[in-house]
Amino acid sequence: MDKSLTARLHRFARARFSPEKEFGLHLTVGVLVLLLAMAGFARIAGAVVAGAPITQLDVDLANWLHAHAHGNDALRTSLMVLTQLHSTPGVLALTGLAGWWLYRRGARHWMLTILVTVPGGMVLNVLMKHTFERARPHFEEPILTLTTYSFPSGHTVAATLLYGFLACYLVRHARSWPARAGWVLLACVMVLLVAGSRLYLGAHYLSDVLAAMAEGCAWLSVCVTGVATLRRRQAAQAARAAHATSAASAPSASTNLSEKS
């Protein structure tokens, strides 16, 4: 391989993994998450449409959970509260509170991003539901009576977007790796709790919530990575413009000094 080509490839790879570059590590990680999430969603959706074995697992698990849900009133009530909190009005209210908190912290671009990310992802999920038109789990004595489509889970998408976004912000500003890991773990726990509540209450199949997590991660990576890249690019352009201005003013300053002497 030509040495100049090798050097260019090395510079390209180094730039893609640089935390400071405008098209650096954040973009590399964001694109990787997007591709993995899209691949996961496509695989699950394809299996559901084709009636693959996962659909039988969906039915078996839904029936088993429904049979046990009627025997634990306290757990059922707790999960009803959790699932109501993450309904469309609840998530929009939580998103508004998160946006206000970010605004108070001076993170205005993060505030604007969350106000686009969460509602935008919820609209995308509605479009997905009408694309696949999968019926909800059916029981003779349902806990919840729902008439909307099942795939993917809207509650799980909303939780993935909300808690995933907050984790991105908190990880970005945490001062230690244990703190970063803790925020990520907390976000994952919250998403799993919401997804589990939808399964336990008979609102969704397992594949519904798994696909919703993948969908949420994909949309989250698009929004967060896109805004971060745009801000870095604007900062880099401003820095280059300032450098060019200072470089242009340097010769004129030298000329003035020469004339005075």
pLDDT at 233: 64
In a domain, residue 240? The reply is no
pLDDT at 252: 54
pTM passes above 0.85: no
| Total number of domains in the chain | 1
In a domain, residue 176? The reply is yes
Print pLDDT tens along the chain (261 aa).
566 655 555 554 455 544 555 555 667 787 899 999 999 999 999 999 998 999 999 999 999 998 888 777 788 889 999 999 999 999 999 999 999 999 999 988 899 999 999 999 999 999 999 999 999 998 888 888 888 999 999 999 999 999 999 999 999 888 899 999 999 999 999 999 999 999 999 999 999 999 999 999 999 999 988 887 776 665 555 555 665 666 666 555 555 545 555
Q: Where on the phi/psi map is residue 136: left (φ > 0), alpha (ψ -120 to 50), or beta? A: beta
Residue 61's CATH number:
1.20.144
Give 184-194 pLDDT, tens digit per residue. Answer: 999 999 999 99
pLDDT at 135: 92
- Domain encompassing residue 61: 30-231
Count of Cβ atoms closer than 10 Å to residue 256 Cβ: 10
In a domain, residue 175? The reply is yes
pLDDT at 257: 47
What are the tokens at 128? 């997905």
Q: Are 216 and 190 in contact (CB under 8 A)?
A: no
In a domain, residue 247? The reply is no
Residue among 26, 155, 173, 243 flagged as catalytic: 155
Concerning whether 66 is annotated as a catalytic residue, the answer is no
Residue among 26, 66, 86, 204 flagged as catalytic: 204
In a domain, residue 201? The reply is yes
Concerning whether 204 is annotated as a catalytic residue, the answer is yes
pLDDT at 129: 96
What is the rounded end-to-end Cα distance, in angstroms, of the chain?
56
pLDDT at 72: 75
Collapsing DSSP states into helix, strand and coil, what is residue 197?
helix
In a domain, residue 18? The reply is no
In a domain, residue 169? The reply is yes
In a domain, residue 10? The reply is no
- Helical spans, DSSP H, in 70-176: 73-85, 88-104, 108-132, 154-173
pLDDT at 19: 52
